[in-house]
Structure 1
Amino acid sequence: MSCFYLIASLPSVTLGQPLPMTPDAFKALCQDQLGLRDQQAVGVLCDGPDFGETAARSTHPFVVRWQARETQLRNAVARMRAARHKGDAAGAIRSHTGFDTAIEDGVEEAFTRSNPLEREEALDQLRWRILDELAGVDPFATSVVMAYAVKLRLAQRWAAHDEGVAMGRVEKAISIPGFEGASPAI
């Protein structure tokens, strides 16, 4: 099925900016524009960061390639964390196909950040670059739709880091009766 119209109509998505649509709305948009196999892949990619068994059973080429890259990235993160705490990452390492030195270098660079939030942002920017690579050079390929699905999910996670929402949660928590050390001024 052709996805020219779908891709041409997609609003841009950027980390740290308001979401142009939710992953569920994107999945619904794809239903009329993609074949069943591609719809299922979009569903897997939109549904969550850990993929779970659904992705493990997926044979869609994009899902397989993305899962391999994400697994390599998570393995590199596990090794870096283990090295920082003088531990062993062997129990956290998962097998994956292929090897991309840019992922290893990107994770190493992210771990130069002392602030955990900045480190997480650097890791998601690395994921974004990986997705751009996986999308390929054809601007109307189905892989562009697949990459968009994951980018939308990443952007959704960062959109949830709203400072106003966070302050509201803190204020609500400290106003709970019996909360020790509650202070009216923040």
Structure 2
Amino acid sequence: MLIWLKNKGINIVISQTWRTREEQDALYAQGRTRSGNIVTNTRYPYSLHCWGVAFDIAVIVNNKANWSAKYYDIVGPLGESLGLEWGGRWKSFVDRPHFQLPGFTVSDLIKKYAHPESFKKSWKQSFEEEKNMAGFEGLATVVYEGKTLSAGILEGKTYVELRTLAELLGLKVIWDNNTKTVILSK
């Protein structure tokens, strides 16, 4: 989706993917028991983010995230044309930066896997679909202290999942939804 949109002159970044219990609980507390606006109506594990099948984006304008609806109303239908479900179509709690894979419901996932960690263990580490992506140059491996992570090379850059790498390095990963910032700490 990133390259496809870039080819249409729209730059985006993925700002949120899989959420831990702590991250989802912190987002739920925002606007309730913590300062800030309410940004979610769901507790852990009732968000598809907790199951790894939803993601949020940020549109980048002049090298900064821009949250203006006009950009998301362009990007949303493009994501839908790729088969994604878009939160901009929701009737209540419209969530324009949100996309999710079709066909998943939290109730079905809970019934089959009980909790997100069991579902995550069922994932296969495969780049088969990505091999057909424009700009995809192949698979790579990142090794740290004898531990191997799968990676992919896209337009000359090596990509690895940030949370997996950070945890391997012994870092704590926190997502600040207010500023759309990943905070790494020891």
Higher RCO, 1 vs 2 (CA within 8 Å, ≥6 residues apart): 1
Per the TM superposition, whether the score is higher than 0.5 is no
Q: Which has the larger radius of gyration?
A: 1
Q: Which has the higher helix share?
A: 1
| Normalised TM-score (structure 2) | 0.29
